[in-house]
């Protein structure tokens, strides 16, 4: 099973801080980090799949030097499937005129119900 912990550990191997779900500006020293979380769930042929979004935030994304491929290959090495979706964007730093770049990559993982229900 591809757990969030496996995703976190794999991303950490890429040498940037990793956050799950949300990150606040006071939690980071600079704007070069990963943020990841669940994006959606779907059922295909009686199997469930969960989409995971991995966002790379960088102050200098224009000089990635194919870092995107390193990220994709690292996630595929732990069993995530790259959906072929990737999007570049820019977001403004809070209360400034400065901007940071983002790269959002979408992956899919199979999920199964545990024996114990959480409901």
The answer regarding whether domain 4-111 maps to CATH 3.30.70 reads: yes
Q: What residues form DSSP beta bridges with 111?
A: 48
Across the chain, how many H-helices and E-strands are there? 2, 5
How much of the chain, in percent, has pLDDT values that exceed 90? 58
Q: Which of 61-65, 92-96, 102-106 has the lowest mean pLDDT?
A: 61-65
Strand order in the sheet with 32-44: 18-20, 32-44, 47-58, 99-111, 81-92
pLDDT tens, position by position, 31-87: 889 999 999 999 989 899 999 999 999 986 666 667 899 999 999 999 999 999 899
For residue 20, pLDDT over 70 is answered with: yes
Q: What per-residue confidence (pLDDT) applies to 118? A: 44
Query: What are the extents of the domains in the chain?
Result: 4-111
Q: Where are the alpha helices (DSSP H) in 1-119?
A: 4-12, 67-77
Alpha carbon distance 108, 61 (integer Å)? 24
Question: In this predicted structure, what is the pLDDT of residue 115?
Answer: 56
């Amino acid at each position: 099973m591809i757990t969030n912990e496996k995703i976190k550990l794999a991303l950490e191997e890429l040498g940037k801080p990793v956050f799950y779900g949300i990150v606040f500006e006071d939690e980071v020293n600079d704007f070069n980090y990963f943020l990841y979380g669940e994006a959606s769930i779907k059922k295909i042929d009686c199997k469930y799949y969960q989409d995971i979004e991995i966002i790379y935030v960088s102050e200098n994304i224009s000089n990635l030097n194919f870092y995107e491929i390193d990220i994709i290959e690292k996630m595929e090495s732990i069993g995530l499937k790259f959906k072929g979706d990737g999007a570049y964007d820019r977001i403004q730093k809070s209360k400034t005129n400065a901007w940071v770049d983002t790269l959002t990559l979408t992956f899919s993982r199979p999920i199964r119900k545990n024996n114990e229900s959480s409901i």
